[in-house]
Amino acid sequence: MKPEDRREQARHLVAALDLPRPLTAEKLHRHMEGVRRKRIVIRPASAGMIMSGVCGLWLEIADEDFERVHYAPTESAVHRQQFINHEYGHMILQHEKELLPAERVALLAPLIPMDAIVHALSRSSFTDEQEALTEAIGDELALLMLSDRTEARHGPRTGFGRVL
């Protein structure tokens, strides 16, 4: 798929979510919990996860009534939100979670009992079309938050007084 077609598809998918406006990270989080019909707990990834190349991880644990999103720790709030937005992109696309290989599961221990892990969807590269579309959705979510924050702070953009 051409990048411009991918961006257009991402815009349509995000528009169909009927997101609350102005969109903030907190409002997006609550909205996605409503979409998923369960709580979503967001935490930094462990050192072991990071060493294995995990940038983001969406997983579900047996006997828990919530889902988890882990992200690579960063001092940048924007970068952190982009990791989270990407995982929301997987949820929006209703990607199936995959069973993790045993060595990846071991990275989660002792935080999560090995026999409790049900499914996870992890990413470490953007090489295939699904990942590219997921990333485009993450970008679209970020652009909405940025646009809404700017408008809330300064009013609608009219072009008046803008430096060219």
pLDDT given for residue 139 in this prediction:
97
pLDDT given for residue 149 in this prediction:
86
- pTM value surpassing 0.85: no
pLDDT given for residue 142 in this prediction:
97
Q: Is 74 left (phi over 0), alpha (psi -120 to 50) or beta?
A: beta
Task: Report pLDDT digits (tens) over 9-34.
Answer: 999 999 999 999 999 999 999 999 99
Q: How far apart are CA 57 and CA 68, in angstroms?
A: 8
Q: How far apart are CA 95 and CA 132, in angstroms?
A: 13
Q: CB–CB of 56/72 below 8 Å?
A: yes
- Which segments of the chain have a pLDDT < 70? 97-127, 151-164
- For the chain, the domains span 3-154
pLDDT over 70, % of the chain: 73
